[in-house]
Amino acid sequence: MSGKRTGGEPGELKIFAGRNSVELAESITRHIGIPLAKARTSMFPDGELLVRVDEDVRGRDCFVIASTCRPVNDNLMELLIFCDCLRRASANRVAIVTPYFGYGRQDRKAEGRVPITAKLVANMITSASADRVLAVDLHAAQIQGFFDLPMDHLSATPVFLEHFRSIREGMGELCFVSPDVGNVKVAEGLANALGGDLAIINKRRLSGSTVKTGHLIGDVKGKTVLMFDDMVSTAGTISEAAKFVMDRGASDVIAAATHPLFVGEAVERIRSSPISKLVVSNTVPLDEQTVAPIRDRITVLDLGDLIGEAIHRIHCNQSVSALFDGEAGLKR
């Protein structure tokens, strides 16, 4: 998604950034046409965080950009303290923007005596007196209902579509493969938008870091396979799926994911996999030292324009859903 914002004036709008999301926040403010608001987060020797806002926010609409990625608990706590700080400084509205929503995979009781931590985090944000929440490509769309306040679920699909349309001619015959059943809707939407076949892999998760591929529904022989998922965490799913489709005759494998978490053995798994390109977004900042062995395979797409336009529309009381009219659907 590219271009400047359309319609309306930003008025009294302030955008702040958590420590891990400064680059993304700067891209967002460039799209809107305002400077990044000034604030500081410092840490006491015992690990406590202190947020200081260095400009007047009384009566302003304030948006805080902060992904709750590693270190998850520190970033989450910073976000909550930011919200409390702005509320006590008499901001008019405080909106939380979590491009990556941590704890999103703990969205249900998969077995006895376990928590639903995604709901707990939603309750914490609500208790911090936030007025609104924005997130990009939640792991499960039903998390929207965990919040007792307005929640905007943005899709990174338009940005990924723009990128793949720009290189579509050189990709040859495409087959869009969903690495799990839950992501079929997105794969189908991409296939309809870019042109190509659809295939599905049945997987079984053995543990938090290990998956086992099962059966392939569809034909990938001689085709470039494009796999899209909401995140790359340990890379167990995409690396196994890539090997699986290559064994069944695929000519190339391109992977795409909104959130590049890259934890555990992710980089080594991708390095040893047949994935030729990995396209991700900047919802989570990359540790360049960590990803150095696979950096030449990675393309990072900027979501600043997309999130910036959503913030502008919310501030000006315009439709956010209109941003996604006619594009591939969200994960269900």
Residues catalogued as catalytic:
203
**Alpha-carbon distance 25 to 18, whole Å?**
9
Residues in the chain: 332
Q: How many CA within 13 A on the CB side of residue 328?
A: 25
Q: What angle do CA 162, 261, 193 make, to 5 degrees?
A: 20
**E strands, 155-308, in order:** 174-178, 197-205, 211-217, 224-232, 252-260, 275-281, 298-301
Q: How many CB atoms lie within 10 A of CB 332?
A: 11
Phi, psi of 61 (to 5 degrees): -90, 120
| Residue type at 309 in one-letter notation | E
Question: How far apart are the C-alpha atoms of 98 and 101, rounded to whole Å?
Answer: 5
Strand 49-53 versus strand 39-43 pairing type: antiparallel
CA–CA separation, 196 and 206 (whole Å): 31
